[in-house]
Chain A
Amino acid sequence: MCDQTFLAITFGPCDNCSQNKPLMNIYLKNEPINYCSLCVELMACQGLAKGETIHTLKAESETLKGKLEEERAKLHDVELHQVAEKIEALGQFVMKTRRTLKGHGNKVLCMDWCRDKRRIVSSSQDGKVIVWDAYTTNKEHAVTMPCTWVMACAYAPSGCAVACGGLDNKCSVYPLSLDKNENLAAKKKSVAMHTNYLSSCSFTNSDMQILTSSGDGTCALWDVESGQLLQSFHGHSADVLSLNLAPSETGNTFVSGGCDKKANVWDMRSGQNVQSFETHESDINSVKYYPSGDAFATGSDDATCRLYDLRADREVAIYSKESIIFGASSVDFSLSGRLLFAGYNDYTINVWDVLKGTRVAILFGHENRVSTVRVSPDGTAFCSGSWDNTLRIWA
């Protein structure tokens, strides 16, 4: 004889659907309720709209993505490099390191040019932010931040201030004074507050507003004077690593790229995500608008750089080679947009012909990962910063 456990089940009409079914005896607010198992499930799902579960949302998302792809593919009648075939190929490139800026004690993480085409601000892992004169390689100012890993720095359009931030989750603005003896740290102004690290910051067309992106997945627009949040941009589902403002003639938009492999284009005034592109296979480390404002390029950990056309609403070019297996950390265009400079984690900088999709040069020189690449405002040179603690100016 076996021991058997019997479960007594009440069978009868359900309080909700009135069908004769096995009932589950549950208590709601201390009142015994007899619902059949189906009605219990339905009740539990009332938090969701009718029929919504993670699966249905995912399925709908997939169908929409498919539809979007279809719409985009309809207009994909020709490749960029095909249209560019008639254009003259570029000549041999001779670019050398013209200046090496030494002085950081640790990895250089970010840099920016001043509009006077001469000064550079750079930030590093050791918490130091240095302003250099690129012509003479002299250091003009140095500030020590209270945090390490200063991942973002930017020069104000007027040239009178710099903004920086990193693991402190804030973006701080330091006015630069001509008096070398003055302690810059004393005048610091904390502008942005995020709930995770600051990955990138940029002044808008004036010294009065700053746009920031953060590891908390959002971008935000701040007023420098009051520190007030003017607009926040939600839409990324993971850390946002980079942002870039549209060239002033084309209007109030900016593009951001993040660890969710997406590059999003935003309207600054409404806070809306206008367009979104998801063709990269890994984190997007850097985004940069094309000089005309109609396209943007991205550099990613999947070892490719890609060009997205905003009016055609699709990716139009991929810059990659089988021999390149390390991620691209930073990208920038030359003045005309014909060249794309990309810094990679394999210590090199590759120069791509944007229209034809071919590589025109590889630049060696850094002894560790290239973390940032920026072309000077007048296009005469570009600067690269690296984990080997130096910055190099190439021309």
Chain B
Amino acid sequence: MARDMSDKEILKMELEQLQKEVKNTREPVSKTAKEICEWVEAQSAEDPLIKGVPEDKNPFKEKGGCIIT
């Protein structure tokens, strides 16, 4: 596959790819960054690793506790 291709073929492949990519539509970072931040903030409230889980509810935090199967 990639190992069997000559340098010229690899370059041709990359060139075609670049030609395609230049045409992609893009949005400004200010808009996308803001959306990422908003999404994270909305989700953070429910993220157990951020808000923490009370010792008795977390199955991992209990060491040697009873697990009813």
The chain A residues found within 8 Å of chain B, CB to CB, are 48, 54, 57-58, 60-61, 64-65, 67-68, 71-72, 75-80, 83-84, 87, 90, 95, 98-99, 118, 134-136, 195-196, 216-218, 234-239, 260, 272-276, 290-292, 294-295, 309, 311-314, 316, 334-339, 354-355, 375, 378-382, 393, 395
Determine which of B1, B13, B17 lies in contact with A216 in the assembled complex, contact meaning CB atoms within 8 Å: B1
The answer to whether B41 touches A311 (Cβ under 8 A) is no
- A335 contacts which chain B residues (CB < 8 A)? 43, 46-49
The answer to whether A275 touches B24 (Cβ under 8 A) is yes
Distance of A375 Cα from B26 Cα, bound (Å): 31
Determine which of A84, A135, A260 lies in contact with B59 in the assembled complex, contact meaning CB atoms within 8 Å: A135
Distance of A57 Cα from B43 Cα, bound (Å): 47
Determine which of A77, A291, A375 lies in contact with B28 in the assembled complex, contact meaning CB atoms within 8 Å: A77
Distance of A260 Cα from B3 Cα, bound (Å): 12
Distance of A336 Cα from B36 Cα, bound (Å): 10
- B20 contacts which chain A residues (CB < 8 A)? 272-273
- A309 contacts which chain B residues (CB < 8 A)? 29, 32-33, 36
Determine which of A65, A276, A337 lies in contact with B39 in the assembled complex, contact meaning CB atoms within 8 Å: A337
Interface size, chain B (Cβ < 8 Å): 48
- B30 contacts which chain A residues (CB < 8 A)? 77-78, 83
Given pairs A57-B11, A314-B29, A395-B53, 9 additional interface contacts (CB within 8 A)? A64-B15, A75-B29, A83-B30, A98-B63, A237-B14, A312-B27, A312-B32, A338-B44, A381-B49
In this complex, what residue of A is CB-closest to B2? A217
Within 8 A of A (CB), among B31-45: 31-37, 39-41, 43-44
The answer to whether A235 touches B13 (Cβ under 8 A) is yes
- B3 contacts which chain A residues (CB < 8 A)? 196, 216-217
- A260 contacts which chain B residues (CB < 8 A)? 2
The answer to whether A68 touches B21 (Cβ under 8 A) is yes
Closest CB-CB distance, A197 to chain B, in whole Å?
A: 12
Distance of A194 Cα from B30 Cα, bound (Å): 42
Distance of A355 Cα from B61 Cα, bound (Å): 28
The answer to whether A336 touches B43 (Cβ under 8 A) is yes
The answer to whether B27 touches A75 (Cβ under 8 A) is yes
The answer to whether A312 touches B14 (Cβ under 8 A) is no
- B14 contacts which chain A residues (CB < 8 A)? 61, 237
- B1 contacts which chain A residues (CB < 8 A)? 195-196, 216-218, 234
The answer to whether B59 touches A57 (Cβ under 8 A) is no
- A83 contacts which chain B residues (CB < 8 A)? 30, 33-34, 37
Determine which of B5, B7, B32 lies in contact with A54 in the assembled complex, contact meaning CB atoms within 8 Å: B7
Determine which of B11, B34, B44, B60 lies in contact with A98 in the assembled complex, contact meaning CB atoms within 8 Å: B60
